[in-house]
């Protein structure tokens, strides 16, 4: 991965460990919001990603490229592939049980991805330092061992739930995330 200094963990960064009460190895991670373009089951043309964590600190997911995801005829749009990388990394940080948002996302495109491809994605964390999480993901064509088509490195920043309530749709959070107190 061609990674900038901004997405490279500093020397004091620590690797995440599976959290007590977190998903068991092999558990499926649900959608964080039904209307999400990346994972929402109610989104008409979204990516509808679902992820599994093999070990509590990484995730794997698949994305089937459809006609709604084209850029050039018959090929996935690069921005959609970046979204898939962002989303699978977003699913990974969900394992840390604190809300994070993408601050920076860097993407390398290595091969075109035809419509109909099942992209096998994997995301992992290279280190955490304070509010910052340094993450990577890759997408392989056709199988978990297939050729790498896209790679991403990201910096995610921890925020409070108030970030989503202040800037987004607070009622949707209350409706779907009963465990969170938006205005404690
Ligand atoms: C029903 C609904 C339920 C919802 C339940 C929750 C849902 C869970 C959401 C999951 C979603 C998944 C989907 C994928 C993930 C997205 O797509 S998230 C959406 C896209 N991202 C955004 O909208 C974020 C927009 N940006 C921001 O809000 C703010 O800039 C940030 C990122 C929160 C940072 O602002 P801040 O908290 O004021 O922090 P700030 O002091 O500026 O920066 C902190 C540190 O980070 C560094 N930093 C900040 N930005 C950058 C950058 N771009 N590059 C490098 N360094 C940076 C700063 O330099 C600073 O470093 P230090 O000085 O501490 O060394």
Whether pLDDT at 26 is above 50: yes
Mutate to test the pocket of ligand 1, among 80, 103, 132 (most ligand atoms within 8 A of CB): 103
CA of 63 to the centre of ligand 1 (A): 25
CA of 117 to the centre of ligand 1 (A): 31
Q: Which of 12-16, 153-157, 179-183 has the lowest mean pLDDT?
A: 179-183
Q: Decide if 3 is inside a domain.
A: no
Q: Decide if 69 is inside a domain.
A: yes
Average pLDDT, the chain: 94
Per the structure, the count of domains in the chain is: 1
Provide the domain limits for residue 49. Answer: 15-176
Q: What is the pLDDT of residue 179?
A: 61
Helix, coil or strand: residue 93: helix
Q: Decide if 7 is inside a domain.
A: no
Contacts of 130 (CB under 8 A, 6+ apart): none
Pocket of ligand 1 (CB under 6 A): 6, 32-33, 38, 86-87, 90, 99, 101-104, 132, 155, 157, 159, 164, 172-173, 176-177
- For 88, the enclosing helix (H) or strand (E) is helix 78-94
Asked if this assembly's ipTM is beyond 0.90, the reply is yes
pLDDT bucket at 21, cuts 50 / 70 / 90: confident
Q: Decide if 85 is inside a domain.
A: yes
User: Phi/psi of residue 54, each to 5°?
Assistant: -75, -20
Residue 123: name the closest of 102, 114, 115, 113 by CA: 102
Residue 85: name the closest of 18, 164, 159, 149 by CA: 149
Strands 132-141 and 118-129, by their bridges, are antiparallel
DSSP letter assigned to residue 2: -
Q: Decide if 101 is inside a domain.
A: yes
Q: Decide if 8 is inside a domain.
A: no
Q: What is the mean pLDDT of residues 36-46?
A: 95
pLDDT tens for each residue of 64-118: 999 999 999 999 999 999 999 999 999 999 999 899 999 999 999 999 999 999 9
Q: What is the mean pLDDT of residues 36-56?
A: 95
pLDDT tens for each residue of 137-154: 999 999 999 999 999 999
Q: Tell me, what CATH number does 148's domain have?
A: 3.10.129.10
Strand ranges inside the chain, DSSP E: 27-29, 51-53, 59-64, 100-109, 118-129, 132-141, 148-158
Whether pLDDT at 180 is above 90: no
Which residue's CA is minimally distant from atom 44 of ligand 1?
Answer: 157
Mutate to test the pocket of ligand 1, among 41, 95, 104, 157 (most ligand atoms within 8 A of CB): 157
């Amino acid at each position: 991965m061609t990674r900038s200094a901004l997405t490279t963990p500093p020397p004091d960064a620590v690797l995440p460990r599976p959290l007590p009460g977190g998903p068991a190895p092999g558990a499926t991670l649900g959608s964080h919001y039904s209307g999400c373009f990346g994972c929402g089951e109610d989104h008409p043309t979204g990516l509808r990603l679902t992820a599994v964590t093999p070990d509590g600190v990484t995730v794997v997911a698949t994305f089937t490229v459809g006609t709604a995801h084209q850029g050039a005829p018959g090929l996935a749009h690069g921005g959609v592939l970046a979204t898939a990388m962002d989303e699978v990394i977003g699913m990974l940080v969900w394992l840390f049980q604190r809300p994070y948002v993408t601050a920076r996302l860097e993407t390398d495109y290595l091969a075109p991805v035809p419509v109909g491809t099942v992209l096998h994605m994997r995301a992992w964390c290279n280190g955490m330092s304070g509010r910052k999480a340094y993450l990577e993901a890759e997408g392989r064509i056709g199988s978990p061992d297939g050729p790498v088509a896209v790679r991403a490195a990201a910096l995610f920043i921890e925020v409070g739930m108030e970030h989503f309530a202040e800037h987004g749709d607070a009622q949707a959070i209350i409706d779907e995330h009963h465990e969170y107190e938006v205005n404690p």
